[in-house]
Amino acid sequence: MKLFTFLLLLVLTSSFGYCQSKKESIKTLFTVLHLDSTTKTMYKNMSTSMIDQLSKSYSPLLGDSTIKKKYLAITKRYYETSLENSRAVIEQILPETYDKYFTEDEIKELTIFYRTKTGQKYILSQPEIIKEITSNPSISAKNQEMTTNLLQELQELFSQAN
């Protein structure tokens, strides 16, 4: 019985150590990827882009100072919520997702690659690449058109409901 208890304890501590090791490996990878700042930047850019598109769509209404003040409060709340969501993604969702799709060895291999000169260039270039893609005039125009059409359809729907 003592042998069984010893073996069980050994297996459990080994498993716990492996999980901790994998979690630490994921944390290290995220540090190398600058994931905290990259994710925050991504959420900041997405919310800023959305707010800009909405400002263009509602520009005729924003001449009224009362409406503009309320609009700014709403968009500020949206922006702050977006940053809160980025923290949840960084702290919980990304680690769980990486744990699901990569083994500990794969996490370590990714970390090794991203520590190389090419890996660091890739990491540091991503925010600018994404910014360039999302601010491309043809994409911005299409997004603006889609947002305008969506808002018009929603306004029509809600006006029919009243």
Helices (H) and strands (E) in the chain, counts: 7, 0
pLDDT at residue number 9: 43
The model's pLDDT over 96-122, given as tens digits with 9 standing for 90+, comes to: 999 999 999 999 999 999 999 999 999
Counted residue by residue, the chain has a size of 162
Cβ(58)–Cβ(71) below 8 Å: yes
At residue 23, does pLDDT exceed 60?
yes
Q: Which residues of 54-65 are buried (b: 16+ CB within 10 A; e: fewer)?
A: beeeeeeeeeee
* pLDDT tier, 12 (very low <50, low <70, confident <90, very high otherwise): very low
* Residue 34 Rama label (left phi>0; alpha psi -120 to 50; beta): left
* pLDDT tier, 5 (very low <50, low <70, confident <90, very high otherwise): very low
Which residue is associated with the tokens 């769980």?
A: 96
CA distance 128 to 140: 16
Q: What is the pTM of this model?
A: 0.57
- Residues in contact with 55: Cβ distance below 8 Å, sequence separation at least 6, in sequence order: 62, 75
